[in-house]
Amino acid sequence: MSRLFGLAALVFCVGACTLLLDTSRSQCRTDADCAAFAGTVCDTREQLCVARSMPPGPGPGTIPVSGGEMGAPDAGMSDAAAPPASANCLAANKPLVTIEGEITTSATLSCDRDYLLVGTVFVTPGVVLTIQKGTTVRGDKASTGTLVVQPGGKLLAVGTADEPIVFTSAVPESARQPGDWGGVILLGRAPVNGAAGAPRPQIEGLLKGGEFGGADPSDGSGALKYVRIEYSGSKLGPNNEINGLTLGGVGSGTVLDFIQVRATTDDCFEFFGGTVSAKHLVCQNNGDDGFDWDNGYQGRLQFLFLQQDPEVADETNGFEGDNDPTGSLNEPRSNPTVFNATLCGKNLELDKQQYGMLLRRSTLGTFRNLIVSGFEAGLDLRDATTEVEITHSIFHGNLLENLAYAEVTGGSGVLADDDGGLDEQAYVLAASRRNLMMDPALVDCFDGNAPRPYPGAALVQNAATPPDDGFFDPQAAFVGAFRDANDGWARGNWIRWGR
């Protein structure tokens, strides 16, 4: 177990980091009324619970948080290693702690308080930020609250299906909207591509402090498990938005499992290079792409579910894959391996070039056991240098072209030849690839409030068997993200549907 969890001492956040108690939320008459909130007493003049370190009287003060020295690089990733939950974790009236600036001392955010991110908050190199299961972290709207873990820092956010960790808007629940706050950004030291001698890239969505990438493919940025991120995606400028979960140069020593991003104005998940792998990812009501990669991303992905918002009238794709923004052949080449995905589009014709899979700009990739439905077209392969393998998948119910437009030399718009003369339909439907255009008989992929994106019976007849490599689940020899109605990985308190 990491010494971060084992030390009982209380430390104060130092440096540029500020942790402030919002005294507007916890009323009291005596100290006994504050007993549920560790480290607080009653300010009898204000009749509010305040931190024990504060002098009586109005105004905020520094509140202690659990912390200690950083332990082993990725210690504490299991549910069992998480700090014990407080009896007050389910209280409706918790103290609110404000976090801003840089976190320079390893610390734990406990579930008996709520937390407010003000501005861009950086977890600096060498620091571990642990978030206890059942904890809610809110992003301030006015200052575009955003959490950034810099290379060498770690975020250990391990929830459970019943007690997830939630990143959400600080706006009252009834008024929350996509784009209320920034999002969560993990930056690591795994390889990214770029021109020889070029400086490390700066992550999209940040003006400074966002350099990422390195030479360690096994680098670890911590763990996110049973985490929900919602109402994120604040725009800093044209083509400079913050995704729900942004991953820049994140290495394979990082754990990503059971994560939902919903109601975001930009991509749900975007991978800028790196080697991190992820399972059980849910994207709902995204304003841009569901799963996006570039800058040499080479990870593995399994069990992905996307449901787009029909009210977002924009060019949004299920998968959008590039090697880099210029389409160069810079190494490492983007080359993800994906098994078991169900991609459900808007199921609405908007004439916005919405594709289930837009693969371009020299990306490589392997895709097996996919269901692609409800887009204007299922697939677009662009650029002669794009080389992908798509097998054992089903394209059904895409509105204008179920698989791909018949592009021709001299054509315009969606009919323009943008792939060097490749006949996408002939390529994808070659018998050896075992792709089908048939109805997968999903119960309901498009119900935004209660989706049932599973088939009535497991689609095993035409499926590929995932490799038994220690990451992929080799038992998932079926097409789509869900075997059948009994496959409940996207159920529980960690998931929320609708707007």
- pTM passes above 0.75: yes
- Looking at residue 298, its amino acid is Q
The strand ranges marked E within 276-386 are 278-286, 291-294, 300-307, 319-321, 337-344, 355-359, 364-373, 377-381
In the prediction, which pLDDT does 81 show? 37
Say which range, 69-83, 144-158, 168-182, 434-448, has the weakest mean pLDDT. Answer: 69-83
CB 179, CB 230: distance < 8 Å: no
| pLDDT band, very low/low/confident/very high, at 92 (cuts 50, 70, 90) | confident
- Tens-digit pLDDT profile for residues 110-153: 999 999 999 999 999 999 999 999 999 999 999 999 999 999 99
- Sign of the C-alpha dihedral, residues 222, 228, 234, 239? positive
Confidence tier at 28 by pLDDT (50, 70, 90): low
Residue 348 burial (CB count, 10 A): 18
- Percent of the chain's residues with pLDDT above 90: 71
What is d(CA 181, CA 242) in angstroms, rounded to the nearest whole number?
Answer: 9
Q: Is 39 exposed, middle or buried (0-12, 13-18, 19+ CB in 10 A)?
A: buried
pLDDT in tens, 416-436: 888 888 999 999 999 999 999
Residue 146, both tokens: 């955003």
Q: Which amino acid is at 131?
A: I
Peptide linkage before 199 cis (omega within 30 of 0): no
Which secondary structure element, helix H or strand E, spans residue 19, and what is its range?
strand 18-22
Instruction: Provide CB contacts within 8 A for 293, sequence distance 6+.
Output: 270, 271, 272, 320, 321, 322, 334, 336, 363
The CA distance from 7 to 68, in Å, is 6
Q: How many helices (H) and strands (E) does the chain have?
A: 2, 32
